[in-house]
Structure 1
């Protein structure tokens, strides 16, 4: 009768081999790699049967917490650092650094024109964000799509407060002009805790980790012939820049939201002085043959 280790290795080998006839070679590679690494984790840490049953129940609860405005599996991936790892490994190094999508890009952003406001609540701290989109070589990209979403001054997204915020507050889908530029009016977002009323919150409590994210604005930038980019800009000098709950802060993405007192410039941007201004460049990488895989 084979020993425990020999039997365990045989189970892994059989499970890996069961996917040998998968027609798509990349899918076969992913499935066999998943089996090898998952089995390796189990052999190393030897979970008890009650522990494994708890893990299955936990993942079931994560799925049950998902709905059209809440993606608990993305949140779990985020707090384990997996989302940020995938983003980092897929960067090619030629454009603006990427960050995580996050759990709140769950609704279609409303179409807006350059200069529109995404603040539908009339916040007290006016802010302007001016964006120039280029290819990695610096060529301005006309007609690029800039999808923006952010929380309020109080740290909530519209989908978290459907009785308080109108749908689409803090969101906008903007086209760039002939110079690759777009700007919009908004408010300075707050730092905020990720949702803790579900299984991810149980995990954070059990490990005594805080749930906070530093203040930031999300972007997805797309243009013909280029790889889509998911990124943030982080508000400089805010709390939690050094301990983001989802590991997404990169130094190159920390931006100074400078105070502007010039009344002429305020009129130009259709706000009142003083206001805060963030001016950023976002460079996206051309598509490669690998992207078509």
Structure 2
């Protein structure tokens, strides 16, 4: 069969007919159809196609042990959030993007520890409870937490300023499903713009900023893990997150507390900032079958 504009898609789809894995075959066939439709719609010149290849090459070259430019590209195109939303648990806390800075292992910490190793700014306490969808408290849930500093940088972005593990912690909930830890209120910040994704944003007139937030991954046996954020209410860019990750149910007040009893309980001095964020984990499908 001659390879023409009209026959191209069928020819490539046919080439995958011996793929043993049915899911892989489905993915490749769908990818081919959509990609070919895109090319026929756009009709790129050879120079434009070469520029596209160069762009993707540059994205790959920008990746390293602490930087994931392909995740960043997926984020700014809304693909990360679309995948998260498609896979989100129906009866659990809403999921959001992993982001490009979950690149190092969070240090194990005890409940009540501080993840702020810089000891700057007013202390902030984040507390909450993890439950199942029916409200049952879940003890021993693993909580992976990470956030930027009050200046808007993650530890991997400032290795000469922040000690490794600053703003990160791996906790387990207590017997009543509760957790609490100390930190600082994170700042809004720009996603990295020194690479090809940054040039894409500049070319399209988009800002690179994310509203202030703290990342969480919660996981427990018999339940679906969730990757989520708690967003600081009133933060700049809460209405225009560069990676489309804000969901109304995840916006939380970070309020000033003068409660000396709470301050003593959390190991801080009043006044301090306090945020409460509860997490609900849906039962894993295999646990109900």
Question: TM-score, structure 2 length as denominator?
Answer: 0.97
Among candidates 123, 129, 134, match of residue 132 of structure 1:
129
Aligned partner of 1:28 in structure 2 is 25
Aligned partner of 1:243 in structure 2 is 240
Please give the residue correspondences for 1:1-293 in structure 2 after superposition, counting only pairs within 5 Å. 7-289=4-286
SS of residue in 2 equivalent to 1:201: helix
Distance 2:148 2:161 in 1: 13
Is this contact kept in 1: 2:89–2:224, CA < 8 A? no
Distance 2:60 2:278 in 1: 37
Q: What are the Cα deviations for residues 164-185 of structure 1, in whole angstroms up to 9, with x where unaligned?
A: 0000000000011111111000
182-191 or 85-94: which moved more? 85-94
Distance 1:13 1:64 in 2: 33
Unaligned 5+ segments in structure 1 are: none
Residue 110 (structure 1) shift: 0.2
Structure 1 runs of 4+ aligned residues shifted over 3 Å read none
Distance 1:9 1:34 in 2: 17
Distance 1:137 1:162 in 2: 43
Residue 289 (structure 1) shift: 4.5
Distance 1:20 1:127 in 2: 57
SS of residue in 2 equivalent to 1:246: coil
SS of residue in 2 equivalent to 1:230: strand
SS of residue in 2 equivalent to 1:242: coil
Paired positions, count: 289
Distance 2:286 2:50 in 1: 43
Distance 1:271 1:131 in 2: 17
Residue 31 (structure 1) shift: 1.2
Residue 136 (structure 1) shift: 1.7
Residue 21 (structure 1) shift: 1.6
Q: What are the Cα deviations for residues 53-89 of structure 1, in whole angstroms up to 9, with x where unaligned?
A: 0000000000000000000000000000000000011
Distance 1:28 1:226 in 2: 30
SS of residue in 2 equivalent to 1:132: strand
Q: What are the Cα deviations for residues 169-214 of structure 1, in whole angstroms up to 9, with x where unaligned?
A: 0000001111111100000000000000000011011001000000
Distance 1:268 1:177 in 2: 15
Residue 125 (structure 1) shift: 1.5
Is this contact kept in 1: 2:258–2:270, CA < 8 A? yes
Unaligned 5+ segments in structure 2 are: none
